[in-house]
Amino acid sequence: MVSKVNKNKIILFAADSMLGRLAKCLRIMGYDTIYRSNYKENELSELSKKGRIILTKNRKTYNSYPNTLLINHDKVRNQINIVDRSIGLTRDYSAWFKRCSICNSLLSKVEEDEARENVPDFVFSNYPKNILFCPVCKKFYWPGTHKDNILKKFRDWGF
């Protein structure tokens, strides 16, 4: 039901309440992805009108809005592959890890003094220039084993 996507257009998503892990993966890949556990009445309709692709596991939702993609699998690997086959997700790795995986905000660079005060010493000593900050969640992000594990998982999934 997703119409042909203009390859030059920025792809925006809104994931329904059953697709939180998929939303997190899309955010890690750099996609602006709204996710709520509960949408207000008409909110999905408004998001669709604003150009967001609605990702849902609910057939009624799928049939109610244009630019909707039915995700009929439980495993995130299969879900992300459905999105990739339907839309063609980018392999632009420079966009990865630029959004907060929790709230979808763009991450920002952190001054070294602020990073030193807010991350473990070993993190600061290993990554003083690679620490990012979410201005909304107030969460700090840095490269490390967690990021390596995510990258390995995504590679295993074909990304």
Within this chain, do residues 51 and 125 fall inside the same structural domain, yes or no? Answer: no
pLDDT band at 7 (very low <50, low <70, confident <90, very high): very low
Identify the domain containing residue 116 by its residue range.
Answer: 108-156
Same domain, 65 and 124: no
Domain count of the fold of the chain: 2
Does 42 fall in a domain?
A: yes
Give 117-152 pLDDT, tens digit per residue. 999 999 999 988 899 999 999 999 999 899 999 999
Amino acid at 50: K
Q: Are residues 60 and 21 in the same domain?
A: yes
- Among the candidates 62, 95, 128, a domain finishes at 95
Question: Considering the domain boundaries, does residue 6 fall inside one?
Answer: no
* Domain stop point among 57, 74, 95: 95
pTM here is: 0.90
pLDDT averaged over every residue in the chain? 91
Is the pLDDT at 67 greater than 70? The verdict is yes
C-alpha dist (Å) from residue 48 to 27, 36, 64, 115, 158: 18, 15, 10, 38, 28
Are 47 and 121 part of one and the same domain?
A: no
Q: What are the residues facing 55 on neighbouring strands?
A: 15, 69
